[in-house]
Structure 1
Amino acid sequence: MTDHKNFYVIIEAKRGWILPGEEQLNRYSLRESITKAEVKHKAIISMSECSNGYASINLRPTIANGIPIKHLSWRKIYDLANKSKEQSNNAQKRLLEELLIYLGGVMTMQTKDSNWVYVVSLGSGNPEGCSISWIDIVNKCGRYFHPVGGKGWPKEPPNYIAFRYDGKLQSIHHIEDYVVSKNMHDEIKEMPDEEWDNHFVYKLGPAIKPPKEVKTGNIYPSGRVWAMIDTLFTSETISDARDISKERKELKKQH
């Protein structure tokens, strides 16, 4: 909370893709400290990982008891802080570096230098209410989506994702970008226009094809596994790649 002769701002900061609810925002707007503040500008600011576009649709209300409600994403604050370093003195740069380190810890970010690949199975059918198949969503639309966390799904976007069907590894893709959305139709027009829970929607890079046939191996039909990218190029099966990657990880822990 910041008090200045020209501004009075209440900040509600949250981790992850979460927005404050209407009841909470209304409670803030009725606080005596803000209603009686004799300043020119008043606002309630939501801060979280939600993009400004996502917040513009899902943050309600936009005005509570005459007080405007705005949103700033952690990404936006991170970018502003990073850009500000160019015109800052040494003391300011140190403070900005500390802020950037903190923000890096609260943001959901891809681990850019990770060589781990998230391998998922694609069914031959269509998602419910969708006019194209799971395979076409990947191969023709260059997209893939899944829930944010829960039931074994990642809570943070991976650097690489791979797809298997017809009993073998088909392709590996770098995840070029991602959004979190409750309506898949906003990102993939063939999907039904309806609201779900939060989902990651990935924009896939060009397909990297394995140099030889890599069969599925000992993985149950809908199983999802992690493997290091080089093991997927050199192993006979995806399950072998998974096991080799696990062994490497354990050896690294021991050293």
Structure 2
Amino acid sequence: MATLESYGREVHSIFQLLGEKENDITLSMSWALTKCPEFLKAVVQYICGLVPDTDAITVMNQKYDADTGITDIEVTDHRTFHIIFEAKRGWLLPGEEQLTKYSVRLAASTAAVKQIATLSECTQAYAGAYLPFTVAPNGVPIRHLSYREVYQMALDSRAASNHEQKHLLAEFCDYLREVMTMQKKDSNMVYVVALGTQKPNGCDITWIDIVQKYSKYFCPAGGNGWPKEPPNYIAFRYYGQLQSIHHIEGYTVSRNMHDEIPEMPDEVWENDCYIYKLGPAIVPGKTVKTGKIFRNGRVWAMLDTLLTCDTISEARDLTQERLG
């Protein structure tokens, strides 16, 4: 079979052609729900606790209402149950205002069981801690569903599905694997940060120790120059030179660093942090000095420039020149 590339990237699933924005994710899920009754049955049963007649269900994508706006996905049999899904890209959750609007919309439904389901990469523990509420002011319950759980439902549903549905669910699972990481697989950009020899506040080990002992690194989830989305690669500099480059194998979002790094204090911070799981170290084959970068400065550079230039600042400048 021929290989399909789109925008220079190999495509393994028809869902990838739609993209990875929130609307693309919900359209993909809507199609999988509609075409794969076992998957639809599993999702409805998880959210509402009942086994539906899939032939009686309508799946609506991006449905508009003048008073309550546009919903991502609505799934209903118009009698027994009515679910509104609100999807977010990455580790995000909808706010109180949005959830309240959707609860008002569901209040007008004639279905016996009414449910809002939030959908994102957030784990159940994270959603349980940071959703505005689990029951809307008008009594409509709210339940979270992570992409990882959707992935597992789609995977498990293949056993009872026909050949065509198995194939579609396999492609949907391929797509969800991309969605769950949200990293640009084709990017060779590296985020270079300075590691201090000091210990984080209340911690028993240094920043360098955290990277070397746990193969992890944490930082704010956006704001003040930090990336809003996890990069593909991260590099660390200390003692005046580049020490290592790591592929980011995965990440979580938390406000308590003790969950991942036992030496950190068991306390909840005000803002979210990314906790990156680091792949094996790529160590430069020569000494790459820091160059003209502020003491705690963070820069972007292409992977090959970090391995060939004499300084990190030179790699940064060459990267900027290439990007125009």
Q: Secondary structure in 1 aligned to 2:322?
A: helix
- For the pair 1:194 / 2:268, whether they are aligned, the reply is yes
SS of the equivalent of 2:83 reads strand
- CA 1:124–1:12: 2 relative to 1, 3 Å: same
| Per-residue Cα deviation, 1:105-132 (whole angstroms, up to 9, x for no partner) | x877111122111110011111112111
| 1:227 partner letter | A
SS of the residue corresponding to residue 152 of structure 1 reads: coil
Contact 1:168 1:216 in 2 (8 A): yes
Letter in 2 for 1:173: H
Residue 54 of structure 1, aligned match among 118, 126, 135: 126
Q: Number of aligned pairs?
A: 242
Match of 1:157?
230
State the percentage of identical aligned residues.
56
Structure 2 contact 181–250 (Cα < 8 Å) conserved: no
Higher relative contact order (Cα pairs below 8 Å, separated by 6+ residues) = 1
- SS of 2:248 mapped into structure 1: strand
Residue aligning to 2:254 = 181
Quick check: 68-77 or 178-187, which moved more?
A: 68-77
Counterpart-to-counterpart distance in 1, 2:221 and 2:124: 18
Kindly provide the CA deviation profile for residues 162-187 of structure 1, in whole angstroms up to 9, marking residues without a partner as x.
10011001111111110111211111
Return the alpha-carbon distance in structure 1 between the equivalents of residues 203 and 122 of structure 2. Answer: 26
Q: Which runs of 5+ in 1 are unaligned?
A: 251-255
Q: Classify 1:244/1:36 alpha carbon distance in 2 versus 1 (closer, same or farther; 3 Å).
A: closer
Deviation at 1:6, TM superposition (A): 2.0
In the TM superposition, what whole-angstrom CA distance separates every residue of 1:183-227 from its partner, at most 9, and x where no partner exists?
111111111222230111101111111111110001111111111
Cα distance in 1 for partners of 2:201, 2:157 equals: 46
- Distance in 2 between the 1:145 and 1:227 partners? 20
Letter in 1 for 2:126: Y
**What is the deviation of 1:12?**
3.0
**Aligned partners of 1:111 and 1:158 also within 8 Å:** yes
Give the whole-Å Cα distance in 2 for the aligned partners of 1:229 and 1:156. Answer: 18
> What is residue 11 of structure 1 aligned with on the other side?
85
Which digits, 9 at most, give the CA deviation of each residue in 1:127-175, with x for residues without a partner? 1121111111111111111111111111111111110011001111111
Quote the offset at 1:66 in angstroms.
5.0
2:70 maps to what in 1?
none
User: Which residue of structure 2 aligns with residue 211 of structure 1?
Assistant: 285
Counterpart residue number, 2:308:
234
Normalised by the length of structure 2, the TM-score is 0.64
- In 2: Cα distance, 1:58 partner to 1:33 partner: 23
The residue correspondences of 1:39-118 to structure 2 (distance < 5 A) are 39=112, 41-64=113-136, 67-74=140-147, 76-77=149-150, 89=164, 109-118=182-191
| Greater shift in the superposed pair: 51-60 or 130-139 | 51-60
Q: How far apart are the structure 1 equivalents of 2:250 and 2:180?
A: 15
How far apart are 1:79 and its partner, in Å? 7.2
Letter in 2 for 1:207: A
Aligned-partner residue type, residue 318 of structure 2: I
After TM superposition, the score normalised by the length of structure 1 is 0.80
Tell me which of 198, 201, 204 is aligned to 1:125.
198
Is the partner of 1:140 in helix, strand or coil? helix
Letter in 2 for 1:10: I
Distance in 1 between the 2:274 and 2:250 partners? 10
CA-atom RMSD in angstroms: 3.1
